[in-house]
Amino acid sequence: MMATFRKLVLLAALFPGAAMAAPAVPDDAAWEFIAGLTSEVGQRLAGSEAEARGRAWAADKLKAMGFRNVAIEPATTRAYVRGTDAARLTSPVPQKLAVTALGFSGTTPDAGIEADVVYFASLDALQAAPAGSLKGKIVFLDHAMKAAQDGSGYGPYGQARRAGPAVASTKGAAAIVIRSIGTDSHRNPHTGVTNFPAGVAPIPAAAMSNPDADMLVRLIGKGKALRMALTLTGRTAESLPTGNVIGDLPGRNPALPPILVGCHLDSWDLGTGALDDGAGCAIVAAAALKAQSAGPTLRTIRVLLAGAEEIGAAGGTAYAKAHPERHALAMESDSGADRIWRVEMKFAQSNAALADKVAAALAPLGIVRGKGEVEGGADVGPVIKAQKLAVIDLTQDMTHYFDIHHTPDDTLDKIDRAALAQNVDAWAAVLGVVANAAEEIAPAE
């Protein structure tokens, strides 16, 4: 009885003056979404048959949840097809190493390669190496990423993965192994995409678990020369099938531009994509339903479950091209499932009162208003840029997110159900405000 009363109080806050009704979405809708996606589909590597099964599953799920106009919108993407990933020290002490290929890595022969290792403590140090000085060598690239509540280390330290392999290639390296872009001490490597600009030859590129990277650093500190054997047989493929899944909760006034809430449906293949980004898709879908649990909002709420985000955000780009019709505002959930602690907004000055309402709706949940840069996210970014949309960022606590990110540990058991529920409540509170706004919603200039 008390739980039902709390639900009614929340509905009254979200929809003042609306007729009270039992919520149309169960409290465990988000959990059931992630549990189903990770168990009935599993990993969803971009361009793979598993990603296609994920789209079919998601379309059926949205329909069952009550979304309208559910559609799978096909697209294509350049993607990475994983092969055999293996590495071992051959000198000074033979040891197996825990590694994973990076997306778009170059390919070794099936028998692998073996070469001396050259150590660089940072990307800056690698960039300073003379041209041609690494010919025939395997680069070991280190960095110093630390945990942060807002996840801010991922941007600068992630460059070791995104740009390091290309820099090593230009210096003549035969291959590169980076310390994983992660903050854990588990013997799990973190995968992720790298990029080789036009004219730069792809070289074999892998990430190594943090404990193994620590071990190499200790050996180097003792003055030991390292030699490594590396096998990465994956390949890059062009024009593989991907796509988006969309669904609408129609509003009372279809003439008003809709609110777009996004996530990405694909995942890396080491885990099952629970935190990245099954959780995001579950949160936006469950929150959209909760926002309409007292009846339709004024504006339509559209969910976008985008494809191929991990490998270059092909799904978000395809959505922007396929949907030039005007949107009012876009939001994205793609930072796991820990508690939301901050909101940041990009509105025109004419929407100052609307922004104040959003902040007020979130205050009872302990969510503070920030003044940082508003990003939106990779999946909604293309449509935000094309249409110059207003944006709201709900920042999750990412202190432990990069312990799990892109690893075999990205599984359902890592999700805290109470924190997941807080995400749904926060998103529903925001949607209850912005999807019922009759005024024009515009971005800051």
DSSP-assigned states of every residue in 120-138: ESSHHHHHTSPTTTTTTPE
In this structure, which amino acid lies at residue 366?
A: G
Q: What are phi and psi of 110, to 5 degrees?
A: -55, -35
User: What is the distance of C-alpha 48 from the center of its chain?
Assistant: 18
Closest to 361 measured CA to CA, from 394, 327, 328: 394
* Nearest-angstrom CA–CA distance, 155 and 145: 10
* Nearest-angstrom CA–CA distance, 231 and 96: 12
User: What are 376-386's pLDDT values in tens digits?
Assistant: 999 999 999 99
Query: Which residues neighbour 375 within 8 Å (Cβ) at sequence distance 6 or greater?
Result: 381, 391, 393
Q: What are the domain boundaries of the chain?
A: 2-78+238-434, 83-233
Question: Dmax of the chain from CA atoms?
Answer: 74
How many CB atoms neighbour CB 333 within 10 A? Answer: 29
Q: Tell the burial category of 218 from Cβ atoms under 10 Å away from its Cβ (0-12, 13-18, 19+).
A: exposed
**Under CATH, which number does the domain 83-233 receive?**
3.50.30.30
Q: In the prediction, which pLDDT does 89 show?
A: 98
Closest to 294 measured CA to CA, from 17, 5, 2, 4: 17
In this structure, which amino acid lies at residue 338?
A: D
Beta pairing class for 259-264 and 301-306? parallel
With both helix axes pointing from N to C terminus, report the angle between 417-434 and 279-291 in degrees, rounded to the nearest 10: 50
* Nearest-angstrom CA–CA distance, 106 and 156: 23
Q: Tell the burial category of 326 from Cβ atoms under 10 Å away from its Cβ (0-12, 13-18, 19+).
A: exposed
What is the number of alpha carbons within 13 Å of residue 89 lying toward its C-beta?
19
User: What are 50-92's pLDDT values in tens digits?
Assistant: 999 999 999 999 999 999 999 999 999 999 999 999 999 999 9
Q: Which CATH architecture has domain 2-78+238-434?
A: 3-Layer(aba) Sandwich (3.40)
**Residue-by-residue pLDDT tens, the chain, 445 positions:** 334 334 433 443 444 433 333 344 667 999 999 999 999 999 999 999 999 999 999 999 999 999 999 999 999 999 999 999 999 999 999 999 999 999 999 999 999 999 999 999 999 999 999 999 999 999 999 998 999 999 999 999 999 999 999 999 999 999 999 999 999 999 999 999 999 999 999 999 999 999 999 999 999 999 999 999 999 999 999 999 999 999 999 999 999 999 999 999 999 999 999 999 999 999 999 999 999 999 999 999 999 999 999 999 999 999 999 999 999 999 999 999 999 999 999 999 999 999 999 999 999 999 999 988 898 999 999 999 999 999 999 999 999 999 999 999 999 999 999 999 999 999 999 999 999 999 999 987 7
Beta pairing class for 175-179 and 99-101? unpaired
In this structure, which amino acid lies at residue 224?
A: K
DSSP 193: B
∠ CA 379-74-107, rounded to 5°: 75
- Quote the pTM value: 0.93
Q: In the prediction, which pLDDT does 22 show?
A: 34
Q: In the prediction, which pLDDT does 445 show?
A: 73
Judge contact between 208 and 98, C-beta under 8 A.
Answer: yes
Q: In the prediction, which pLDDT does 205 show?
A: 98
Strand runs (DSSP E) across 58-98, as ranges? 68-81, 85-91, 95-97
